[in-house]
Amino acid sequence: MWFEPEMVSEDSRLYAEHPDWCLRNPLRGPVRGRAQLVLDLCNPQVVDAVFEKMAAAVEESGAKYLKWDMNRYLADLYAPSLPPERQREV
C-alpha cells in the first residue's frame, strides 16, 4: 500500500473540513505543489487523523508492505499550530 499522508488536495473532504490543517506562511498563504498542500504534522490532531486513516486502510486491506512517499520540497515551512518561537521545529 502506497501512502503520501503529508499531502492533501484542496478538493478533498479532509481539506473542506480542516483547511487550517495545512502549512502556510501567514504573509503569503499556502504554497501548492502538484495541486496539493502540505499537512501540518506539528499539529497532534493532524497526526492522529492521518494515523487513524492509515491504520484503518491497512487493516481493511490486509496490506503487508507500506510505502510512505515524500516527494515534494517544503517551501511553506510555517505551522499554524505552533507559536512563533517554535517555528524552527517545522
Q: Among positive and negative, which fits the CA dihedral 53, 69, 19, 48?
A: positive
User: What is the spatial distance between Cα 55 and Cα 47, in angstroms, rounded to a whole number?
Assistant: 12
Q: Is the pTM of this model over 0.75?
A: yes
Enter the C-alpha cell of residue 51.
Answer: 494515523
pLDDT of residue 81: 93
Predicted confidence (pLDDT) per residue in 31-90, tens digit: 888 889 999 999 999 999 999 999 999 999 999 999 988 877 777 789 999 999 999 888
pLDDT of residue 11: 97
pLDDT of residue 31: 85
Nearest residue to 43 (alpha-carbon basis) of 2, 8, 11, 1:
8
User: What is the spatial distance between Cα 79 and Cα 90, in angstroms, rounded to a whole number?
Assistant: 7
The domain containing residue 40 runs over which residues? 2-89
User: What is the tally of structural domains in the chain?
Assistant: 1
Beta strands at 2-3 and 67-68: parallel, antiparallel or unpaired: parallel
